[in-house]
Amino acid sequence: MAPSLSLVHGIQSYREWEDDLRFAKALTHKHAKSFSAGIRFFPREVRDATYAIYAFVRLPDDIVDEQNLSDEQAAKALQSWIHDWHVALESGDANCHPAFRMMRHVMHRYNMPRSLVDDFFTAMLSDTRIKRYHSYAELCAYMHGSASVVGEMMALICGATHPDAIPTARALGEAFQMTNFLRDVQADFEQRGRIYVPSDMLHRFGSSHDAIVHQVADDTWKAAMSELVEHTRILYKSGRSGIKYLAPECQFGVALAADIYEAILDCIEANDYNVFKGRVHTSTAQKLMIFGKRRLALSH
């Protein structure tokens, strides 16, 4: 089947499209099961663009997180990756990484600012230097590149035209990212030596980063986590307020992805905020229940 002409608007030589798309879809379904549930309900063009964006942001994230490299090695590998991306973007050469080819087309099709990608790479590079965050303001600066810009990319491919669509899409991107941080507290520290939970938010309740180092889920930790979960729910509420500004055919998929991802917070609460028990996730049965509720809400 030929690729959507609108997705590769003005470029008729993308012979590798179907192979590249299979690569991006496999990567997305492997690593983003909750997100993938919402993607399935997008129109084909938007769904394919979403796969392209996910592959593009996932691969450099893996360079930093999944290859057992030292920080120095990871920074060097990532800088090389960014250099190759710049060459691919500026030259238009088809002989480049599949993720580069796909993202280049998506940026062209949706008039996506280059600054969004540049800011994303800045955040990825900071992961090779910064291991702990001491204030929420510092974390927000990181999430601008790691999450907010991705939310903006998604808003653009989902047909956002209203000016309020962008800040709410950024808030939804932050909500997803904060959910990851809260769910993966243990793995981020044990596997990567990173702590994304800001120490100032812990200190207000008498806790500290030592609770993560020593895996102590005492009352002070639980109180701090409760506030962080509530803060993340506020981000979801803000993000959902902008879904109405997206193309009608994209609204259900975005809302469903948000519902499924926010349900991870329910799992954290159900575990009494003890995120040291292991990584929580929503089951297939939970996803189906969430789908049914979202469908029911839509019918009303």
Q: Which tens digit of pLDDT belongs to each residue from 266-297?
A: 999 999 999 998 888 888 888 888 878 887 77
pLDDT-derived band at 1 (thresholds 50, 70, 90) equals very low
The dihedrals phi and psi of 132, each to the nearest 5 degrees, come to: -140, 150
pLDDT-derived band at 13 (thresholds 50, 70, 90) equals low
Average the pLDDT over 143-161 and give the result. 96
The per-residue pLDDT for 292 is 87
- Tally the residues of the chain: 300
What would the two tokens of residue 270 be? 């159900």
CB 47 within 8 A of CB 40: yes
What would the two tokens of residue 264 be? 């991870």
Count Cβ neighbours within 10 Å for each residue of 51-65 and write b for 16 or more, e otherwise.
Answer: bbbbbbbbbbbebbb
Count Cβ neighbours within 10 Å for each residue of 133-142 and write b for 16 or more, e otherwise.
Answer: beebeebebb
Q: What is the CATH number of domain 17-299?
A: 1.10.600.10
Integer Cα distance of 172 and 261 in angstroms: 10
Q: Read off the pLDDT of residues 78-90 as tens digits, 9 standing for 90 and up.
A: 999 999 999 999 9
Give one DSSP letter per residue of 233-245, joined into a string.
Answer: HHHHHHHHTTGGG
CB 221 within 8 A of CB 134: no
The per-residue pLDDT for 298 is 64
- Inform me whether the pLDDT recorded for 7 exceeds 80: no
Q: Read off the pLDDT of residues 42-79 as tens digits, 9 standing for 90 and up.
A: 999 999 999 999 999 999 999 998 778 899 999 999 99
- Please state which of the ranges 13-17, 28-32, 77-81 shows the lowest mean pLDDT: 13-17
Burial of 83 per CB tally in 10 Å (0-12, 13-18, 19+):
exposed
Q: Read off the pLDDT of residues 213-232 as tens digits, 9 standing for 90 and up.
A: 999 999 999 999 999 999 99
So where are the chain's domains? 17-299
Q: Read off the pLDDT of residues 115-139 as tens digits, 9 standing for 90 and up.
A: 999 999 999 999 999 999 999 999 9
Query: What residues contact 46, with CB distance under 8 A and at least 6 apart?
Result: 157, 158, 159, 247, 249, 250, 253
CB 152 within 8 A of CB 214: no
The per-residue pLDDT for 245 is 96
Integer Cα distance of 8 and 134 in angstroms: 44
Percentage of residues in the chain with pLDDT exceeding 70?
95
Say which residue, 173 or 11, is predicted with more confidence. 173
pLDDT-derived band at 10 (thresholds 50, 70, 90) equals very low
- Inform me whether the pLDDT recorded for 9 exceeds 60: no
Per-residue CA distances from 49 to 24, 107, 154, 157, 270 (Å)? 10, 9, 9, 7, 35
**Which pTM value belongs to this model?**
0.90
The per-residue pLDDT for 286 is 81
Q: Read off the pLDDT of residues 228-267 as tens digits, 9 standing for 90 and up.
A: 999 999 999 999 999 999 999 999 999 999 999 999 999 9
Count Cβ neighbours within 10 Å for each residue of 107-117 and write b for 16 or more, e otherwise.
Answer: bbbbebeeebb
- Inform me whether the pLDDT recorded for 165 exceeds 60: yes
CB 49 within 8 A of CB 59: no
The per-residue pLDDT for 300 is 56
What would the two tokens of residue 243 be? 């879904």
